[in-house]
Structure 1
Amino acid sequence: MWSGPRNLSTAMMRSFGARGDCACVDEPFYAAYLAATGLDHPMRAAVLASQPQDWRVAREALMGPVVQPIQYQKHMVQHMLPGMETDWLDGLVNVFLIREPERVVASFSAKRGLPDAGELGFRRQRELYEELVSRGKRPVVIDSADIRRAPEPALRALCAAIGIDFTPRMLGWTPGAKPEDGVWGAHWYDAVNGSTGFAGAEGPLPVLEGELAALAASLRADYEAVAARKLVI
């Protein structure tokens, strides 16, 4: 699952984890990303200590045996930096989870202030999508707004597209942190930890001003390029 931040990816991890036949992996390249970029993220030291800082080691762990028939790998697209090999993705089912940039910018800025465009992952998501397509792959695209608007139809469509059976268990989960959560969940997962299912449909786009509005506008072309291929729910 290839997502950017503030984009329903953790709720989707909860949904897949509730299936009963799915193991979940939470952002396995986060430490490698922080080590390579030097970015000062919340809980940086704890993240670096919790995971391999070499992306190759993280990749090999993902390609090992799985303990359940299905594995949900939650990835942030921006963690896949230039120079990190992506040919291993050809053996996986790749789903791109998208969200309108105005919503992402509003949500992210409420947590961390004005973000850098690269941290939000829109350009990298488009690049990775187009890279897979150029290699003859058919990634699945689903919009988080469609999931929140109609969770069961959206999840049924997603399961059909990736070749697994839908189960109603995906519609709800128990509240609280989960063993698969990264250590950063203590900072970022407060809302999802208090939830037992998907939040309702989102309202109108947030009204942004100044630098936030300009940032969201600069991201829209990349969003729309991927959104043009999204599942129709």
Structure 2
Amino acid sequence: MSAAPATPLRVAMWSGPRNISTAMMRAWENRGDCAVSDEPLYAAYLATTGLDHPGRDEIIADGDTDYERVAVALSTGPAPGGRPVWYQKHMTHHLQPRYSSAWVNKLANVFLIRDPAEVVESYLKSRATVAPEDIGLLQQAKLFDQVADAQGHAPPVIDADDFLRDPGPFLEALCEHLGLGFTERMLEWPAGRRDSDGIWAPYWYDAVWKSTGFEPWRARSPQLSGEALRVADACRPAYEKLRAQRLVLD
């Protein structure tokens, strides 16, 4: 078991879009001892890149667009509400290459991955186009190497497909790794929106707002072609690299 960092325990879950990242945030918020932050770098990412995402102006107006200030708060500031555990839901592509990412090494980092074909298929249901850098896997692979080198060991990797087959044991194993007790409260939560949800939630969180737990596992067979297939194929080596390091239960 890894020793828990000093209070607060800052759990940074690095994911890409169209994963189970918001449901995972629900699970941690429902513990009772945990504050959560929903994509705290999103406003800075949009302000810096100029990308046109749903609700862009609202997101920028509502969030902090100073990337370095947000990074300092996430890595050294107090947890919201003084909670002993601080779960940070991050999209890896929100990291800004022009700034150092050394601050990430102060966090208890976990990587949440999903097959890129499934991500691309889901992403294109809400967006007209997709590029490799949009789905975060390339950035996840790079950040994984950074964290492993800095901390001297590979951080945990959870594959969403594995996780949904049996969420309880995976959460229990992750909590043990982090030096936390597991609670069954992480498996069920009340339906509805949360004050902690990002202001972009109306564009993306409809299914999560209706949920009371993790979705049941089901086999998926994405059918991609053209540019969508090229994007998934471009991200597949990064996915396979991370998948080789994934948490496998006995």
TM-score scaled to structure 2, two decimals?
Answer: 0.90
Note if 1:19 corresponds to 2:19: no
Q: Contact 2:144–2:154 at 8 Å: present in 1 too?
A: no
Per-residue CA distance 1:179-209 (angstroms, 9 max, x = gap): 1111001111111111000001131331222
Cross-structure match for 1:107: 122
**Aligned equivalents of 2:220, 2:58: Cα separation in 1:** 37
**Aligned equivalents of 2:161, 2:234: Cα separation in 1:** 20
Cross-structure match for 2:10: none
**Aligned equivalents of 2:165, 2:226: Cα separation in 1:** 29
Displacement after TM superposition at 1:222 (Å): 0.6
Note if 1:146 corresponds to 2:162: yes
Note if 1:35 corresponds to 2:50: no
- Secondary structure, counterpart of 1:175 in structure 2: coil
Cross-structure match for 1:120: 135
The 5 Å alignment of 1:81-230 reads 81-135=96-150, 136-230=152-246
Cross-structure match for 1:50: 62
Bigger shift: residues 14-23 or 213-222:
213-222
**Aligned equivalents of 2:208, 2:195: Cα separation in 1:** 14
Q: Percent identity?
A: 46
Per-residue CA distance 1:127-163 (angstroms, 9 max, x = gap): 1111111222531111111221111111112112222
**RMSD between superposed Cα atoms in Å:** 1.1
Amino acid at match of 1:128: L
Structure 2 residue ranges without an equivalent (≥5) = 1-12
Bigger shift: residues 204-213 or 52-61:
204-213
Displacement after TM superposition at 1:60 (Å): 2.5
Amino acid at match of 1:155: L
Structure 1 residue ranges without an equivalent (≥5) = none
Cross-structure match for 1:72: 87
**Aligned equivalents of 1:86, 1:138: Cα separation in 2:** 17
Shift >3 Å, 4+ stretches:
none
**Aligned equivalents of 2:191, 2:220: Cα separation in 1:** 27
TM-score scaled to structure 1, two decimals?
Answer: 0.96
